[in-house]
A and B are shown apart, each in its own frame.
Chain A
Amino acid sequence: MSRQTTRFDAKKVNSELLTLTYGSFVTQMLRDYENVDDVNKQLERIGYNMGMRLIEDFLARTSATRCLEMRETADKIQNAFRMYLNVQPTIANWSAAGDEFSLIFDNNPLTDFVELPQDLTNLRYSAILCGCIRGALEMVQLEVQCWFVQDQLKGDNNTEIRVKFIRRLEDAIPAGED
């Protein structure tokens, strides 16, 4: 079995394989749902579930500690994108309060060879990334909102994901005797 022989060091995968797999996956979803909003929602949800597990892998590899500040969080997200997608987004456009920032991508590996047809302009093709960020941060007690501001697929110059800090979640207390 391949699982048993998995070694700890990161396996390299050709990014084209990921791109095409993801593309066929989105296509299948569009066929299944026939409604772009539902597909957006599902992509986000799947991303969320991925993020919840991916964070454990990230923490185990980097032995990072909990973030006390959003700037630290931004650095770590940037680092994670380098680890998992081999792209380095630029952190920019901090809000005055320091609770909101943008991740700007020159290129997005998920959208190589992708063109959006005219009737699918509402599709957030890479919504899985937003879900992923949200799911991962929720596991480390940070609730954030995450959305696309610009998308190269829609003719913008860059792809830009905006991340907004909502609140810090409280540690759970043990269930009382009932």
Chain B
Amino acid sequence: MAVYNLYVFDKYGVMLFYNEWNRLKKSGMTQEEEAKLMYGMLYSIKSFVGKMSPIDLRDGFLYYKTNKYALHYLETPSGLKFVISTDTASINVKELLQQFYAKVWVEFVVRDPLWVPGTPVTSDLCKQKIDEFIKQSPIYGIKNI
């Protein structure tokens, strides 16, 4: 199984959504601490990449990869941050995140009148749609050796 977990942060670093699929190794922290650490790391990478870049950036930080997994990052101009961990064989994850934003996030979170901006997502319909979207995505089933 190839999609491990998904985080969504807003521009203030509040974790709006988290879910995991087939995550084998736990970090040993509470989810809250983990989210803080994750956001801090992303923030640092973003500013690091911005400062170290020898030419002007357009998209900035895109993803990083270890020998076991890859972490893909998409930031919208409104500051929403979508972070997904997959195996290293997955391709086109950026497009997937873009679609996730357009088809799931805007449709079921932003348009949900009961969702207060800047708070975690609690709607069951939305959670179910996110789960469906990830499970139907082409990279969900990839087995990596």
Contacts and interface: CB of A to CB of B under 8 A. Distances in A.
Interface residues of B, number: 25
Given A8-B107, A60-B102, A174 B77 contact: no
A60 B101 contact: yes
Interface in B92-119: 98, 101-103, 105-108, 110-111, 117
A61 B111 contact: no
Contacts, number: 55
Interface range for A: 20 to 34
A63 B98 contact: yes
A139 interface: yes
B78 A57 contact: no
A59 B76 contact: yes
Nearest to A8: B103
A64 interface: yes
Binding site of B, secondary structure by majority: helix, strand, loop or mixed? Answer: helix
Interface in B64-85: 76-80
B78 A53 contact: no
A45 to B, nearest CB: 14
Contact of B107 (A6, A52, A65, A172): A6
B138 interface: no
A82 interface: no
Nearest to A177: B36
Interface of A: 3-4, 6, 8, 52-53, 55-57, 59-61, 63-66, 139-141, 171-175
Interface of B: 11-13, 36, 39-40, 43, 58, 76-80, 98, 101-103, 105-108, 110-111, 117, 125
